[in-house]
Amino acid sequence: MKSAVLVFPGINRERDMARALKLASGQESTMVWHAETSLPKGTDLVVVPGGFSYGDYLRCGAIAARSPVMDAVRAFAADGGLVMGVCNGFQILCESGLLPGILMRNAKLKFLCHDVHLRVERSDTAFTRGYNAGQVIRVPIAHGEGNYTADAETLKRLEGDGRVLYRYCSPNGEVGDMHNINGAAASIAGIVSEKGNVLGMMPHPENHVEDIMGCTDGRGLFAGLVEHLERAA
Amino acid sequence: MKARVTVTLKNGILDPQGKAIEGALKSLGVDGIASVRQGKVFDIELAGADKAKAEEALKAAADKLLANTVIENYRVEVL
C-alpha cells in the first residue's frame, strides 16, 4: 500500500499516522507538503492527518482545504482513489467539499481528549473491512470541534445510503445522547463519500495500534485498507 | 475603497458559543437580552475604485472562503 500523508502548517499527527500505516503495510508513506500540485506516482491512499492546520483560523480546516495539494486530492478522489481524513483531516475534507456537512464546536464547548467507543456500522467497505458489523472498538479522540452537522436532507441521504461507518456508543454498543460525546448529529463519528472512497472520522485509530498504546483496536482499519487494496490489485 | 463582509450563522444552526455568551451576559445582570448569536466581521480594503467589481470580488471571497454556506449566511457592503 503506497500511502501519501499530507502535511499542512500546524498539523501534528502525521508521524503517528505514518507509523500506523507502516505497521499495517510494511511500507513507508510519503509526506506531501501542502504546496505540492501533484501526488506521488502510484499513490493508493491519501491520508489527511490530525492537528491544527493554520491554527484553526477562520474555521477548522478551512484554509488547508483551499491549498494547492487539495486540487490534486480532489482529482485523485474523483478517479476513485482512497482518501482518509482523521480529526482535523475530517474537517479539511468537509471544508474541501469532498465530504458533506461540517464539524461544529462540541456541544458542551469543551475540548475533549479521552478514549471513546465506536460502533462499526458495516464491514463491507474499504475503511471497515477489518472489523465486523456491529463491533465496538475503543479509540482516542482529541478535538474541540467534532460536532458533525449537515442539513436534514444530507443526513437522511447519509443514513439511507449506509454512509455512516462509525458512531459514538457505549462500551456495549448502545447509541444515544448519553454516549454522544460531542453532540454530533445521529452520533456520527465517521462517514464516507457517495462513492465510498473518501472517509472522514474524528477519532484517532492511528493512536491505538500497538500494545504500548494500551489498545490495538485501531489496527483493523489499517489492516482492512491493506486487504482492500490487495484484493483490488 | 473599504468594504465589510458580515458572516452569520443560519437560522436553526445550533450556536453553543452564542448560548454561552448569552448566559454570561445574563449572569452579569445585563437587562433585556433575549438571545445571542455569534458571527464574524471582515473589514477589507480594496485596491480598485469600481464598486460593481468590488462587490463581485467580495462575493467570490465570501463564497470561496470567508463563509461556509452549509451553516452560514453572509452580507457584503462596500462602505
Contact A118, A188 (CB under 8 A): no
Residue A17 has pLDDT above 90, yes or no: yes
Asked if A112 contacts A146 with a C-beta cutoff of 8 angstroms, the reply is yes
| In chain B, % of residues over pLDDT 70 | 100
Using an 8 Å CB-CB cutoff, list chain A residues near B20. Answer: 109
Quick check: helix, strand or coil at residue A33?
A: strand
Position A71 pLDDT exceeds 90: yes
Minimum distance, in Å, between the CA of residue B64 and any CA atom of chain A? 9
Q: Are A148 and A107 a contacting pair, CB within 8 Å?
A: no
Closest by CA to B3, choosing from B72, B74, B70, is B74
pLDDT on residue A42: 96
Burial of A11 (0-12, 13-18, 19+ CB in 10 A): buried
Domains of chain A: 3-232 (3.40.50.880)
The mean of the pLDDT values for chain A is 97
Q: Percent of chain A beyond pLDDT 90?
A: 99
With bands split at pLDDT 50, 70 and 90, how would you rate the model's confidence at A9?
Answer: very high
Q: Any idea which of A68-77, A107-116, A179-188, B7-16 has the lowest mean pLDDT? A: B7-16
Q: Which of A106-110, A157-161, A199-203 has the lowest mean pLDDT?
A: A106-110
Q: Which residue has the cell 447509541?
A: A175
Q: What is the ipTM metric for this complex?
A: 0.85
What is residue B48's predicted lDDT score, i.e. its pLDDT?
Answer: 86
Chain B residue with the nearest C-alpha to that of A109: B16
pLDDT at res. A86: 98
Given a cut of 90, is residue B41 above it in pLDDT?
yes
If you average pLDDT over residues B21-50, what whole number do you get?
Answer: 94
Phi, psi of A114 (to 5 degrees): -165, 175
pLDDT at A225: 98
Q: How confident is the model at residue B57 (pLDDT cuts 50, 70, 90)?
A: very high
Determine the pLDDT at residue A233: 81
Residue A163: name the closest of A135, A198, A116 by CA.
A198
- Chosen for mutation from A93, A104, A106, A177 (greatest number of chain B CBs closer than 10 Å) is A104
- DSSP code for A180: -
**Terminal CA-CA length for chain B:** 7
Q: Is residue A39 pLDDT above 90, yes or no?
A: yes
- Map out the domains of chain B as residue ranges: 2-78
Residue B49 reports pLDDT greater than 90: no
The DSSP call for residue B8 is E
- Taking only the tens place, the pLDDT of each residue in A203-230 is 999 999 999 999 999 999 999 999 999 9
Give me the pLDDT at residue B56, please: 95
Pairwise CA distance, residues A58 & A128, whole Å: 33
| Residues of A marked as catalytic | 87, 204, 206
Instruction: Give CATH for domain B2-78.
Output: 3.30.1280.10
Q: Do B68 and A105 touch (CB under 8 A)?
A: no
DSSP A92-148: HHHHTTSSSSEEEPPTT---EEEEEEEEE--SSSTTTTTS-TT-EEEEEEEES--EE
Residues of B in contact with A100 (CB under 8 A): 70
Chain A interface disruption, residue of B68, B69, B72, B74, most A CBs within 10 A: B68
**Burial level of B64, CB count in 10 A (0-12/13-18/19+)?**
exposed
In this prediction, residue B12 carries a pLDDT of 86
d(CA B63, CA B79): 20
pLDDT for A215: 98
Strand runs labelled E in chain A? 3-7, 30-33, 45-48, 82-86, 102-104, 112-120, 136-143, 147-149, 164-169, 188-192, 198-201
What is the distance between the alpha carbons of residues A221 and A6, in angstroms, rounded to a whole number? Answer: 19
Decide which of A47 and A233 is more confident: A47
The DSSP bridge partners found for residue A191 are A164, A200
| Mean predicted confidence (pLDDT) in A135-151 | 97
According to the model, what pLDDT value does residue A125 have? 97
Q: Among A135-144, A154-163, A192-201, B14-23, which is the least confidently predicted range?
A: B14-23
Chain B residues inside the 8 Å CB shell of A180: none
Q: Does B60 touch chain A (CB under 8 A)?
A: no
Distance in Å, alpha carbon of A216 to nearest chain B alpha carbon: 34
Give the whole-angstrom CA distance, residue A22 versus residue B66.
38
